[in-house]
Amino acid sequence: MSTIAETAPRDQTRRRTRFDGWRWGGRIFLVFMLLYTALPMIWMLITSIKSGFAAMQFPPQWWPDEPTLASYQKLLDPQNSVGQDFLRFFWNSLYVSTATTILSVIVAVPAAYAFSRFTFPGRNFLFFAVLLRNMFPAVIFLVPLFILMRAIGLVNTHGSLILTYLTFGLPLAIWLLKGFYDNIPVQLEQAARIDGATRFQAFILIVMPLSAPGIIATAIYSFIGAWNEYIYAYTFLSKNEQLTLPVGIQRFFSENTTDFPGLMAASFMMSVPVVVLFLVLQRYFVRALTEGAVKH
């Protein structure tokens, strides 16, 4: 007995010191990752408030001598041709992303529900066929899709982008939502149907509200994917007034290669909507991943 009593405290202190080692390692690691993540973004912001001349200094000005919002004013000024373009790109991106998001939800929700609830023949095959879409790069589909879009008259329209973006978002959306529906007891729907609801009403009135976090997560994912997409927009659209932000900015700055403050300001403003959207709704996203994708 006495030996145990003697060794126990020593054992505990040893464990505590080792534990602190882990914790300190974790802290240092997090600080390193924070710097890696944040410094480039901070540098983007600092550059964006410099004048074109101030940006082109060596050694660089760590903080601009004369901070200026000129780049932002130029981009947001509807009187100026740069501003007109930027605002138009912005609206184009917003339109394409919103339409994609709405359609994704409309298509993914019933599909995920069916994959979760029904046992029709070919269910697993179709489910994995949908998931396999994630495997293939945009470029494989680029040429034939371009020809296809030309054939159905969608080239140089936003419709071509919406249709293609839909397929990016769908696999993950269906997968996430299926996980959600798997976790909603089927008895709830049965109860609703016995209480007088049709299958559709049971779905709309009972299941849909319960899967709201999953739907929100799906929507964020679709929106961000569409907002940031570059390669299809770059290939399908050629008219200046239709470009989305990523392509528009690239076109614009390939003509003004030295306007780094303008480029950084544009990059910042392009990032604001999705970052805000994501930060506001991120808890749904993590929850959806936990419940939908990971927990099985």
Partner 1 sequence: MAHVVLKDLIKTYGSFKAVNEVSLTVNDGEFVALVGPSGCGKTTTLNLIAGLIPITSGDILIGDRVVNELDPKDRDIAMVFQNYALYPQKSVYMNLAFPLQMRKLPKDEIDKKVREAARVLDMTQLLERKPRELSGGQQQRVALGRALVRDPAVFLMDEPLSNLDAKLRVQMRSEIKRFHQDLKATIVYVTHDQLEAVTMADRMAVMNGGYLQQYDSPAQVFAHPANMFVASFVGSPAMSLIPLQASTANGGIVLTSAEGWSLALSQPNARKVQRATSGKVVLGARHSTIKLHKSAVAGAIPAKAYTVEPTGDVTFVQAFLSGAIVNISVPPTIAVAPDEQIWLEFDQERIHLFDGETEMALQAN
Partner 2 sequence: MTIVAGKTGARQRLRPLLRKIWEHRADYAYVLPAIAVMLIVIAYPIYYTIELSFFNTPPGLQLRDKIFIGVDNYTAILTSPVFWKVTSNTLIWTLASTFIAFVLGFGCALALHRDFIGRGVLRAILIIPWVISAVAASYIWKWIYHSDFGIIGAVLVGLGLADRPPNFIDSVSTVLPSLIVVNIWREFPFAMIMMMAGLQTVPDQLLRAAKVDGANAWQRFWHVTFPHLRNVSTVTILLLAVANFNSFIIPWIMTGGGPSNASHIWITHIYELAFGRQRWGVASAYSVLLFFILMTLGYFYVRALSGNDRKDGSA
Kindly state the smallest distance separating residue 2's Cβ from partner 2, in Å. 20
- Of residues 6, 7, 12, 27, which one binds partner 2 by CB under 8 A? 27
Task: Please spell the DSSP secondary structure of 17-83, one letter per residue.
Answer: HHHHHHHHHHHHHHHHHHHHHHHHHHHHHHHHTS-HHHHS-SSPPSS-SS---HHHHHHH-TTSHHH
**Residue span binding partner 2 (CB under 8 A) among the ranges 1-9, 63-71, 83-91, 127-135:** 127-135
CA trace torsion 98, 104, 107, 113 (10° rounding): -130
Residue type at 100? T
- Closest approach, Cβ 99 to partner 1, in A, equals 29
Q: Which of 12, 37, 80, 198 binds partner 2 (CB under 8 A)?
A: 37
Amino acid at 19: F
The smaller minimum CB distance to partner 1, of residues 7 and 198, is found at: 198
Residues 137-176, one symbol each (x = binds partner 2 by CB under 8 A, - = not), give: xxxxxxxxx-xx--------------xx-xx--x---xx-
Taking a C-beta distance cutoff of 8 angstroms, is the pair 109, 214 a contact? no
Residues 6 or more apart from 5 whose CB is under 8 A from it?
A: none
Partner whose footprint covers residue 135, from partner 1, partner 2, none (CB < 5 to 8 Å by kind): partner 2
Positions touching partner 1 (CB under 8 A) are: 185, 187-188, 190-199, 201, 205-206, 209-210
Please give the residues from 181 up to 200 whose contact with partner 2 meets the rule CB under 8 A. 181-182, 186
CA–CA dist 230, 244 (Å, integer): 8
At its nearest, how many Å lie between partner 2 and the CB of residue 199?
9
Query: Using CB under 8 A as the criterion, what x/- string covers residues 68-107 for binding partner 2?
Result: --------------------------------------xx
Interaction partner, residue 262 (partner 2, partner 1, none; CB < 5-8 Å by kind): none
Counting other chains too, the contacts that 234-238 makes at CB distance below 8 Å and 24 or more residues apart are: 235/142, 235/146, 236/146, 236/149, 236/154, 236/155, 236/156, 236/160, 236/161, 236/164, 237/156, 237/161, 238/156
| Dihedral class, residue 110 (left if φ above 0, else alpha if ψ from -120 to 50, else beta) | alpha
Tell me the number of residues near partner 2 by CB under 8 A.
106
Residues 241-260 that bind partner 2 (CB under 8 A): 245-246, 249-250, 253, 260
123: contact with partner 2 by CB under 8 A: yes
Look at phi and psi of residue 156 and say left if phi exceeds 0, alpha if psi is from -120 to 50, else beta: left
Contacted by 147, from partner 2, partner 1, none: CB < 5 to 8 Å by type: partner 2
Q: Which does 88 bind (CB under 5 to 8 A by kind): partner 2, partner 1, none?
A: none
